[in-house]
Amino acid sequence: MAPLVRRTWAPIGQTPILQQRTRSHQKVSMIAALCVPPKRDRVRLYFRLHPNANLNAITIRAFLRLLMRHIPGNIVLIWDNLGAHHGKVMQSLLQKTPRLHVFRFPPYAPELDPVEYFWSYLKTKPLANDAPEDIATLATKARSHSRSIQRTDRLLRSFVQHSPLSLRLR
């Protein structure tokens, strides 16, 4: 739960101190999708937090089912090369669900993925320099800041626009 420490200022001779719990292996894993409808007139953010858990095929499958409940029609997924995206659970789901169409980013190309811009913003802006006391506080803050981003259309659009993908918004 070590925070990302950004630059800060302090009066001369008074070094800022950021207290944190050491040797904590607790974490909050998060899965997210930026969704652009065919009209390309808006961007939506969907996310789920998983405190003290790793993302795997089961959590990804549950997230995809959530997306399918909220998004009518076909869904085009553009995935990175996470191992869980290639497993038997995912292949089975994709074969049984004709509305899901998968394309993959090239390996080692995070700059193409608009969701990476969301992660970067979340970590370097609202969550920077924050050393939560416990995992519940970290999860609450991550959820709160993500919901705030979810409601900021300008910011969501910027994540898509900064990616070199050829997707243009209206």
Taking the chain (170 residues) in consecutive chunks of 10 residues, what is each chunk's mean pLDDT? Answer: 69 80 80 94 96 95 97 93 91 96 92 96 91 90 98 96 86
Alpha helices in 12-132 (DSSP H): 57-70, 88-96, 114-124
In-domain check, residue 49: yes
Residue range(s) defining the domain that contains residue 84: 28-162
Element (DSSP H or E) covering residue 133: none
pLDDT, tens only, 57-87: 999 999 999 999 999 999 999 999 888 999 9
In-domain check, residue 5: no
Whole-structure pTM value: 0.87
Q: Of 46, 44, 37, 47, which Cα lies nearest the Cα of 76?
A: 37
Residue 17 β-bridge partners: none
Q: Residue 63 — left, alpha, or beta (φ > 0 → left; ψ -120 to 50 → alpha)? A: alpha
Q: How many domains does the chain contain in total?
A: 1
Cα–Cα dist 62/67, whole Å = 9
Roughly how many angstroms between the first and final C-alpha of the chain, as a whole number?
A: 39
CATH of the domain at 127: 3.30.420.10
